[in-house]
Every structure is written in C-alpha cells, then in structure tokens.
Structure 1
Amino acid sequence: MHSGRRSAASLEDETLDFTTEKSNDKETAQDLAEAAVCFANASGGTIVVGVRDRTTGPEAFIDATISRDLLRSKIHELTEPAMVVDVQDVSLHGHRLLAVVVPAGLDVYATRKGLVLRRWNDQCLPLSPTGVSRLDDERRGTDWSAGRSGRSTTEVDPDAMHRVRQLLRQTGDETRVRLASASDQDLITALRLDVGGNELNRAGEVLLCRNAVAAAADVLVYQYRATPGGEATASRRWGTPLVTAFAEALDAVSARSEITPLNTVRGQVLQIADFPLAAVREAVANALLHGDHRERRPVHIEHSPSTLHVRSPGPLVTGITPANILTAGSKARFPALAGSFRQLGLAEELGQGVDRMYREMVRSGRQAPEVLVASGGGEPETTVVLRGGPPNVRIARFVAELPDAERNDTDALLILLMLCEKRSVTAKDVAPVVQRDVAATEDILRRLVHGPAGLLEATAGTHARRNPNYRLRGQALAALGPAVTYHRRNPSDTDTKVVDHVQEYESINNATIQRIFDVDVYQARDILRDLVGREILTRTSTQTRGRAVKYGRGARFPEKRRRR
C-alpha cells in the first residue's frame, strides 16, 4: 500500500477490513461496532483503523486518534450480546493505526439497533431472518433434522426401505449387513431416524417418506442440455423419499455420460467417464446434506457434456469457505441426516468427501472442482462446478501409474496439475491451492522430491534456499508430454536440433531423441516417423526394430551452405 502498488481494498477479504475514523468518536464507535458484528457472525477477523481503502501510496495512511480503551468499551456497549474485542496499537510508516481483532462468535451478534450483519468475502451484508435462524442453530449446536416430524414410522415408503436394505448389504460391513435383515422399526432406530416411540424425526421423514412436510415438494431437480446454453433435452424432478431421489439422480447422470477407454503401460484398461461417478456422488451428497432444507428450495443439477453444476440452497456451513474446504474438515449442518447417509454408504466419513471429489477429477485427467458461494441479490446458495468433456489422457495415464501413496493423495495431484501449467512453483505459490500454510506445503513438496515417485526436483539455482523452486523431473515431463503446456515443441525447433545432431554425429536413434526432447519412447518414435516421412531422415541400419535402429541423412536433409 505505502509503495503505491496496491490499494487496501485489494487486500480485503473475509477476515480483513480497512477503514478510517468518522467525524467524531461516537460515529466511529458505531461504525466499528457494526463491522465487529459482521466478523463475529462469520469466522472472525481484523479491522485496521487508519487506512483509506481506495487510495494508494503514503496518502492512504491517516493517524487513528480514538482511544483504545474507549473503542473497546463502546463496542462492548453497542453490541448484543456484549462483545469483547482486542484493540491493539500499531505503528506503521510513522502513523498510528488501530487493529481491532474480533473472534468468531459463539452466539448470533447484533447491534443495539437490531442490525444483524455477516461477512461475505470483502463485504458486510445483512442476514435474512432465515439466515439468522440458521446461524443460531449452528452456534447452539441445534440439529433441525433431529426434531420431531409428526410422522409415524408406519408411514415410511416400502420402496425406500427396500433400497435402504440394499445399500446396507452393499457396504460390505458385517454389522451393517446384519442390520439389513432387522425389522423396519429396529432399522429406523439403528439409523437414528426416530425420536422414540413410533415417531420419525425430520431426517427420517425426508429420507424415507413420500411428500415430506419438512422439505420442498421437489427436493432434487435434474436437467440435461446438449450444450451449456442450449435448451434442456431431458428434465426430471424428485420429491421425497430422499434415498430414492439421490440414487435415481446419479443414474440420470451416468446414463448421459460418455466413456473414454484408456490403456496403461501395466496393461490395465481404465474406463474414464465424462464426470467420474465418485466425484458426482460426493457433489450431490454434499448438496443434499449441507443444503438448507428449511428454505424449501430444491438442489439443482445442471448437466451438459462439458460441465456439471450442482447448486444447493444456503451458504456453506459457518467456518467453511471455498478457500479452506479441503482442510477445514467436514461440519454437518444436519448431523442426524448426515449420520444416516454415512451409515448407508451414500456419503464419505467426515472430512473425506470433498477430498475425494477433487482427487477423482484430477485422476480422470480433468480440472479440479470449483466451489462458488453466492450472496447478496437473492437467497444465498452454494454451487459445485465439475468440468467434463474429453479427458486429458496423458494426465490420467500418468496418475494411474503412480505409486499408491501419490495416486491417492489429493495434495500431490493438485501440485501435479499446477505444474502442467507452470514451469516451477514455490511453497508460497502452492499453499493456497492445497489450502495449507507455507511450512506444511514445503513438507509436501519435499516428500514429492524424495518419495518413491520422485516427481519433483529443486531447480539448480534455488536448491539451497529454505523454500526452493520445484519443477517436474525429466521422466515426468516425458511421460506427460503435451499435457505440459510449456513443454510443447515447435516443429521447426525439432527439425533444427535433429539436423544439428546428425551433422555432428552422422546418425541418431530413438534413445537420443528421448534425451534431447525429454519425451517417452512413443513420442520419440512419432518424431522419427515424421522426419522419415518428409525424407529429412532415412533408416541407415539393417535392423528394423529395437534400440539398434539408426537414422541418417535423407534425400531432403538440409546441408550446411559453405561460406565464400
């Protein structure tokens, strides 16, 4: 900011805000009380007083004059319940600033005037009554799905119960397989879908009953378009029971997915779908589990060959953001409903589902998912975007041939994907992608250098640094080939290097091509075939197959011109 390169506004996010004092201490305290409420109702944060957020350079800094003790006491006085914040003096470039540190609240906070705000990205926005109720339940640990539904256990849908028993048998877990043979009442009790006696809780009603009062008439809506902006050619709506809607929605996606067969060096044949079913399953399960059924809006699945959008009502659970969703762990909005989903094998254990969604997308040669949270304008909603279309078979084949540890490690796969676009990265570059701090990210990078896969190496000029630059090793570059965007060869450069080598050594072979261009044996073969086809090279050895095959000057081999 002081250097004039960036404004304070460009640095603001969900946990940091810059502001200046108002015309008097009373207005300043009221303004900062509102900002403190905003952060306390989210994940906490810091308000820096004494910086103009739209100005750059030394002019952005204005001395704060309000007393620390006065500001702390005024925020305590102007908030409900009374909030305790930490106010610190900060000296920067000869100016006095104040840092107001606001912890994440244990309750829902408001100003004395009844204003309830919450931080969304870099803005403070008012919470709707539904949003206040949602936040209050989260803060108090109230599980809406465990409440009474008023529906009897005798009202469960027979087809839904039959599907529940099938799912339990498919888990392979002996305890759950035995449970599949229990009576309906015992099964409902074991899945914690009742409130005692013969009454279902809301999770039981939504999961097992038709026309659940606790949910929207349509809990799930599916649309398929041949192109993302085209007319829907297939559409389906499902009401409750949720266990049936979930399974049939996955079938609808699978039925319209194209399969790409892929052969690996080990002889495996992989079947790669447009959208990996495991990733789709986790995206839809998360939407149904963490979407807010109290809003009575459905989960929407928008499907086309190139993209799959899964949109759910409500924001992410408090404390979870797109920037920490991989590492913050899972926090169920409705624990009773989430517990039954996990028992039935419809969702991963806590903290594993999102990881798996990212991992499956990269393993199939595609981009990592995007998680988007919309606010303002209308009701908040969360969208997971999966990118489909033809897979990058080079990446998919390379990942399939990695050791198990790296093949099943989300961090390693995200770093690999990143290095297909960038020549080298540091821990600081990678940290926001794997959503860890720089020290933990450095440990991951070093493991990929020294681990069994040997994927990375530190660059020669930086290997002695605390946080060196890392790049893919030569064998990884060769195996990934054109999947590495900066490693694509210019045909004229290829010709020049091969011609220069033959002029100096009189011949060339496949192994030499591999070393010169960092390619595998098959890519080297294709380069030689192209040069022979254009008569720049011709085979000079008697051998026609194997390592001993050599190539020399062809009929159109460019000779060096003699200087006069």
Structure 2
Amino acid sequence: MHLKRSPTVRLPMSSSISSSTSRRRAVHAPDTADDLAEAAACFANASGGTIIVGVADKVRGTEAFLGTDLEPGFVRRRVFERTQPNLDVMVREFNYAGKRLLLITVQEGLDVYVANGKAPRRRFEASCLPRSGIDLMRLSDERRGTDWSAAPSGRGVNDIDSTALLHLRSLLSRSRNALMEGVDASTVDLLSMLNLSDSHGTLTSAGELLLCQPLANAKNDVLVYQFRETPGGDVRSGRRWQAPLLTAAIEVLTMIEARIGTIPINLSNGQQIQIEDYPIIAVREALANALIHGDLRERRPVTVEHSSQSLVITSPAPLVSGITPDNILTHPPRPRFPSLASAMRAMGLAEQYGLGVDRMFKEMIRSGRAVPVLSVSEGDLRETTVRFSGGPPNSRIVKFVASLPSVEQEDTDALLIVSTLVSRRVLNAAQLAPVVQRDPDEAQAALLWLSQGAARIIEPTPRSSKRRHPDYRLTAGAVSSLGPVLAYQPKPKSDIERKIVAHVRDYDSINNDAVKRVFNVDVYAARDILKDLVSRDILARTSEQSRGTAVKYGAGKKFPARSRKRNKSTMRPEEGPSLFDMGSDVE
C-alpha cells in the first residue's frame, strides 16, 4: 500500500503502511481495510490526499507493483463503517505495470475524524501523529466554523481602555478599508459596525482582546519584543505587553520602525529610492498575520526577535488547518478568528483577501533580499515562525526589479522567477511549480508570460524550445544587468583584481572605502568585489573588526606571488598617503 498527497495539493509528500504488513494481511481483507480507514481519517484531518493500494513502499521499479485483490465497494464501505463521524471516500481500480491497483481519494474533512476507536491523528511529513487536546479543539472549531473571537466576553463598553480607543479611531481615520461613517460614530455604534460587540452591547472576545486591559486573573503577555545587535548577543532593548492588543501592536511597530534604517540606491533613470533594512510593509503583514492567526487562548505571546542579521516573528499554534508553508501563497485565505481578522483589516493593520503573505515575498525580493522563510514547529507547544534575513541589500537586484514594467514588479510569480534564476542557470515549469506553489501548467504560463510579454527577460533554450515545458534562461540583457549577482556566472581574473592585488602589495591591505574610491562604485558593489576575492582566498580579513566598510583585507592563501622582475613604479613608496587616509565610511 502506498499513500501520497492528493494531486490537488501541489507539493509532494508521501507516507506508507509497510509493504510487508500489506502482504501479510492480504488474506485478511477487513484488517487491511481497517488500516486504510486509519490512513484515510489521518488525511481527512489534514488537507486530504490519495492512497494507492498494491504498491510496495521501499522497492524500486516494476517489482514495487504487487497488485491487490480488494474490491472498491468493500474498501469504501469499510472505511465508512470504521470512522466516526462516517467518512465517505472515492475508490476506483486501475491497472499499471500489469497489476491491478486501487486509488482511494480522500477529501479534506468537514469534521474531526477517528478510525477504529483510536485518538484522532494528523499528518506530519511521512507519518500520522496523535493530536494534542489543544490541537483537537482548534481543528474542531475550524471545521465547524466556530469563531472564538466572535463570542461574548462578558465585558462592556465601560471596560475599554481610553488609549486603545484613541488608537482605534486614529487607525480608522487613515484606513482605506474602514466605513467612512464609522470614523465619527459613537463608541457603541463604532463597536457594532466592527462586530466588536454583540446586539446587547457586550464586547466580543475580539473586542476585549483588542481594547481592554486584562482582568486580574488573566494578566499574561500577548506580545514580546527583543532587540539584539546580533542574534546570539545580549538583549539591548526589550519590552513585554499585556492586553489591549491594539496598543501593543502599534507600539511594537513603532519600536521596530525606529531601529530600521534606510539605504539610498540610485536607479539608471536618475531616481533615488530608499531601501529599508527590513521592508516595513512585509514586517507589518507578518506581525498582523501572527496576531490574527496565533492562538492567544494558549496564553503564550507573539514574539519578535530583532537584530541586524534577522527579524523573526513567532506566533503560538500552527497554521490554520489545510494551510502549510508549502501552499500558503496560493491557498484561499482562512483566518482562524474571522471576527478578529475583519476588525484588524478594517483598521488597516492587515491586508484584505489574503494578500499579506504575497506582499511579504514581493517586498523582500524588491529590496534585494531572500524571501521570508515560514516554518511550523512540532511538539506539545506548536508555533509558526516567519524569518526575514537582514544584511545589506543586493543593489543589482533592486535596480533590475525596478527596471521591470510595473505589472511585473507587482507580480509575485514574476519576482520569484527572477529570484530563482539568480541562483540557477535554467528553470522549467516542474522546477518552478513548488517555488510559486502552483501546478506545472500554471507555472509554465508564468514563464511564457515573462518570455513573451512586455518584460521579455527570459527565453527558452534552443534545445528545449519545442517541448511542452521548455527550459528557460535569462536573456542576454538580463544577464548583463544582473552581472556578478548570478551565482553561475564565470568570474575571470579582471583588471579590477589586478589593481586590488597591486594595491595590497603596495599598502599591505585594502578596505571597502578604498575600492569605492578607486573604481567609482557604491558600497554594495565594492562589498561584492571584496567578497568574491575573499571566497577565492585571494584576500583574507586582517582586522579585528568584522563588519562595516572599514574592515581591512590583506593577502590570502592564493594571493598571486610577486614576479621576479619588479617594476619600480609598483614599488611601495616610502611616504605618501594610502587610500585609507582618504577617509572611511562605517556602516
């Protein structure tokens, strides 16, 4: 028996029941069908999947196809009978490699399913694992449409914190998503318009969380912020917040923005743009998603770990059922707490229509950095993490993206294609599909559009152009624009290298500022030149300082040996200023 993900789910994942078990129980059809019921329930409690019966899991080639004598009607009936609530699956037989196989299709369930009286289980990679009590509660609420944030809290308008109410009105006055009549409405009417109170005037759980100070028996942190110079360094600045959540969200964004710097980059058209250390739009969306989808009922806070190298936002609980890091870009939006999400969107703190994650990816690529990394931890206390990589932006990527037509600049698929082709020479639909989280045909359409539309930055390779899904590469113009950014571009010894070698021979070392002045390049191009030479052991860092433009580099292990005949013009002068004496910039 072989289990795999449903073809409607775009990224591969597989698991299995041991083939030896399958063969041993071949004469015990009820037992085998009971195993299938457990596997089907496990898939139904996740996002669905398919099961192929009659295939050995750890055997390759045609020998893996063993076949099965089970009848489709029997398997369907047995799965239905052995699951609670009863789970109906689709079963059909087909032949492959001369063997009769069964294909069982399991849809994402509408409830929480158990099989053979065992505790509900969930999919994790290649296994079905038991669900914890809090997991079961969350899944049951999500499947049945129960919205904790819409339930009455028992608190009234008089419990609202005055500062939080001022923040609410201020945000609504600036939000494009708010109703105009709500800005000047009374507090009671305003809360009703935002669905933060019920018909009796009682605040909902969302209204209490956003606007009220905590009760004496519920004083737990909802948000924690820590800033470090480096990820492993001491905390330089930190703060903890209890409810109201609205005040906490606004204040943490203020703290983050205060520590985000900007770097000017000049475009070819003469325009200068400012690139943030971390695009604040992306950070805001990540924080909003953490606050909306994190399960604060667990009394664990959303945490923000901020340093110059990374910014990490962690929220309690996994992603909403059916959504994974592998499909989050294309899965229809599904908020854990719809009432809370609706209020935050009205205030302008979160995107409408599930565009927030797309925007995070787009803004990071446009700022010349890697896409954010989303992950979900396992264990008793599951968490969802979004990690942004910091450091200087890649100015060539920034300039290249800024040169694209406006439609392509705003298209997530287009930017992901550019980002991917920076690190690999060719790309086809099958390789792109998991990156853009679409099926191969949709990925092919995106590649075709970039090759034939207004941008025309990629082209099919001559050898593959007749294929249904050709291999694509960057055009010569795109390669020229991106230049040394491309990981696969050859980097021959150049005049730049010769001049740097000569300078190090004369003055023993060189730094970023010297490279900028000699070659008339910006700090990032100078950084890339030095980084390349260090990676090839031509240069090596010689100063104790490890960051900034004043870091000094000297001869590395593969520094070219001096020729026997030495020209007097290249002799080190006894006196005279070096390039270091011309001034230096420190990041």
Q: Structure 2-normalised TM-score?
A: 0.79
Q: SS state of the match for residue 391, structure 1?
A: coil
1:346 aligns with 2:349: yes
1:132 and 2:143 are equivalent in the alignment: no
Partner of 2:375: 372
Residue 275 (structure 2) aligned to one of 264, 272, 275? 272
- Counterpart for residue 450 of structure 2: 448
Aligned residues: 495
Q: What one-letter code is carried by the residue in structure 1 that aligns with 2:221?
A: D
The Cα RMSD (Å) is: 2.9
Deviations 1:223-273, CA, capped at 9 Å, x for gaps = 222222233222211111111111111122222223221111222222212
Residue number in structure 2 paired with 1:223: 226
Quickly say closer, same or farther: Cα 1:169–1:275, change in 2 above 3 A: same
1:75 is aligned to 79
Q: Distance in 1 between matches of 2:133 and 2:214?
A: 26
Match of 1:399, SS state, is helix
Instruction: Write the distance in 1 (CA, Å) between the matches of 2:410 and 2:165.
Output: 34
Larger mean CA deviation between 246-255 and 87-96 belongs to 87-96
Q: Does 312-321 or 228-237 show the bigger shift?
A: 228-237
- After superposition, the C-alpha distances for 1:418-443 in whole angstroms (9 at most, x for unaligned) are 11111111112111111112222222
Choose which of 20, 25, 44 in structure 2 pairs with 1:40. 44
For the Cα contact (< 8 Å) 2:3–2:14, is it kept in 1?
no
Equivalent residue number for residue 18 of structure 1: 16
Indicate the SS of the match to 1:47.
strand
The answer for the alignment partner of 2:492 in structure 1 is 490
Of residues 465, 468, 479, the one that matches 1:466 is: 468
365-374 vs 108-117, which moves further: 108-117
Matching of residues 236-251 of structure 1 within 5 Å: 236-251=239-254
Tell me whether 1:190 sits opposite 2:188 in the alignment. no
- Whether 1:417 and 2:419 are equivalent positions in the alignment is yes
SS of the residue aligned with 1:237?
Answer: strand
* Matched AA of 1:330: P
Distance, in Å, in 1 between the alignment partners of 2:152 and 2:461 is: 62
Cα pair 2:16 2:126 within 8 Å, conserved: no
Cα deviation for residue 460 of structure 1 reads 2.2
Provide the C-alpha distance between the structure 1 equivalents of 2:364 and 2:346, rounded to a whole number of angstroms. Answer: 25
CA apart distance, 1:216: 6.9
Residue in 2 that maps onto 1:505? none
**Equivalent residue of 2:155, what SS?**
strand
Q: Structure 2 CA distance, aligned partners of 1:72 and 1:116?
A: 20
Change beyond 3 A, Cα 1:210–1:340? same
Partner of 2:170: 166
**Identity of paired residues, percent?**
46
Which amino acid in 1 is paired with 2:202? E
Question: Partners of 2:372 and 2:159 in 1: how far apart?
Answer: 39
The whole-number CA distance in structure 2 between the counterparts of 1:243 and 1:408 is 30
Q: Structure 1: where are the runs of 5+ without partners?
A: 2-6, 497-522, 528-555, 557-564
- d(CA) in 1 for partners of 2:6, 2:486: 32
| Residue pairs, 1:281-292, within 5 angstroms | 281-292=284-295
Q: Which runs of 5+ in 2 are unaligned?
A: 499-524, 530-566, 568-587
Question: Does the alignment pair 1:436 with 2:434?
Answer: no
Change (3 A) 1:73 1:302: same
CA contact (8 A) 1:15 1:44 kept: no
1:50 to partner: Cα distance: 2.6
Q: 2:522 aligns to what?
A: none
Equivalent residues of 1:8, 1:55 under 8 A apart? no
Alignment of 1:64-213 (within 5 A): 64-171=68-175, 176-211=179-214
Q: Deviations over 1:466-506 (max 9, x none)?
A: 2222111122111112111222421169999xxxxxxxxxx
Displacement of 1:164 after TM fit? 1.0
Is 1:276–1:361's contact at 8 Å kept on the other side of the alignment?
yes
- Output one character per residue of 1:310-334: Cα deviation in whole Å (capped at 9) or x when no partner: 1111111122111111111211111
Match for residue 325 of structure 2 among 318, 322, 326: 322
Judged with a 3 Å threshold, the aligned counterparts in structure 2 of structure 1 residues 11 and 72 are, in CA distance, closer, same or farther, namely closer
2-structure distance, mates of 1:14, 1:424: 22
CA offsets per residue over residues 337-378 of structure 1, 9 Å max, x none? 000011000001022111111100000001111111122x22
**In structure 1, distance between residues paired with 2:125 and 2:32:** 23
Maintained 8 Å contact 2:66/2:99:
yes
Letter of the aligned partner of 1:128 in structure 2? S
Q: Is the 8 A contact 1:463 1:469 kept in 2?
A: yes
Give the Cα–Cα distance (whole angstroms) in 2 for the partners of residues 11 and 194 of structure 1: 41
